Amino acid sequence: MHDFSIELCGVKIGISALCPDTRSFFRDYLSSGPAELFVAISPEDLSYEREQARLQDELDGVPPRRYSDRYMETQAILRKVADALLMKDKLLFHGSCLAVGGRAYMFTAPSGTGKTTHTRLWLELLPEAHVLNGDKPFLALEPDGQVLCCADPWQGKENYGTNEILPLQAICIIHRGESNRIEEISFSEAFADLIRQAYRPEGGDGMLKTLPLVGRIGQGVKLYRLWCNMDLEAAKVSSAAMLKR
């Protein structure tokens, strides 16, 4: 086994990995000192992740893809870390998070809808913006109700991200549209989309933990729904509303 420690969401986590090069995936998150949580990966964990990947390819209607053991191990670590951090009120979420003026703004949508493209448009429009995490940040719920967006190394195929923790100001749910329009929505209007993009662990206990966390996120940040095309005007419309410019 290959042992090392990382720090995510302010929590130190000990990792016991099978592949010698898995440590390099976490190079920007390596830590020292005593760990609060421990994650160990077994060959059975890699087999489980390969089966999940095969099922997803089948669902997507694409030929089964071949993944390296290192990639499968990073996915197994993500699953176990997400389960452990969930118990500490830190929820893995599917979305692209940008940082502007010391605050985070998230775009979320099913894969292929355009959140990555919209992220690029914000970067083109706003020189002061940068990507906190381009695919799967953790959202940490603070006792005072504040929601923090926490970077991690699972940044998507574009590998956009920086190791930061910032207060989350807003979540925007993206839909494709011919024209660009945004509106602020209530938590009840956003709930179905938010729960689809939140990490949902297997088993009833984990789900019972996810649901109230999604509720607290929805009450702690502003929520928007955006219909947009792929033009720069889309970023002008969304940033004007979300940044109140």
Residue-wise pLDDT for 195-234, tens only, equals: 999 998 877 677 788 999 999 999 999 999 999 998 999 9
Residue-wise pLDDT for 188-202, tens only, equals: 999 999 999 999 887
Do residues 79 and 94 share a domain? no
What long-range pairs does 82-85 form, CB within 8 A, spacing at least 24?
A: 82/138, 82/199, 82/201, 83/201, 83/206, 84/13, 84/37, 84/39, 85/8, 85/9, 85/11, 85/37, 85/138
Please give the tally of structural domains in the chain: 2
Do residues 173 and 71 share a domain? no
Looking at residue 61, its pLDDT comes to 87
Looking at residue 245, its pLDDT comes to 60
Q: What is the pTM of this model?
A: 0.93
Do residues 55 and 121 share a domain? no
Q: Which of 86, 101, 129 is the last residue of a domain?
A: 86
Do residues 98 and 28 share a domain? no
CATH number at residue 120: 3.40.50
Instruction: Please tell me the number of Cα atoms within 13 Å of 82 on its side-chain side.
Output: 25
Looking at residue 110, its pLDDT comes to 81
Do residues 110 and 227 share a domain? yes
Residue-wise pLDDT for 47-75, tens only, equals: 999 999 999 888 888 898 889 999 999 99
Do residues 69 and 95 share a domain? no
| Between residues 156 and 10, the one the model is more confident about | 10
Domain assignment of residue 168, given as a range? 90-242
Cα(163)–Cα(6) distance, rounded to whole angstroms? 12
Do residues 188 and 213 share a domain? yes
Q: What is the mean pLDDT of residues 34-42?
A: 96
Do residues 126 and 68 share a domain? no
Q: Which of 62, 86, 110 is the last residue of a domain?
A: 86
Do residues 231 and 157 share a domain? yes
Do residues 76 and 99 share a domain? no
Closest CA to 91 of 170, 199, 168: 199
Beta-bridge mates of residue 104? 99, 168
Looking at residue 156, its pLDDT comes to 84
Element (H, E) at 79: helix 69-86
Do residues 157 and 63 share a domain? no
Do residues 65 and 108 share a domain? no
Q: Which of 31, 57, 86 is the last residue of a domain?
A: 86
Residue-wise pLDDT for 73-127, tens only, equals: 999 999 999 999 999 999 999 999 999 999 999 999 887 778 889 999 999 999 9
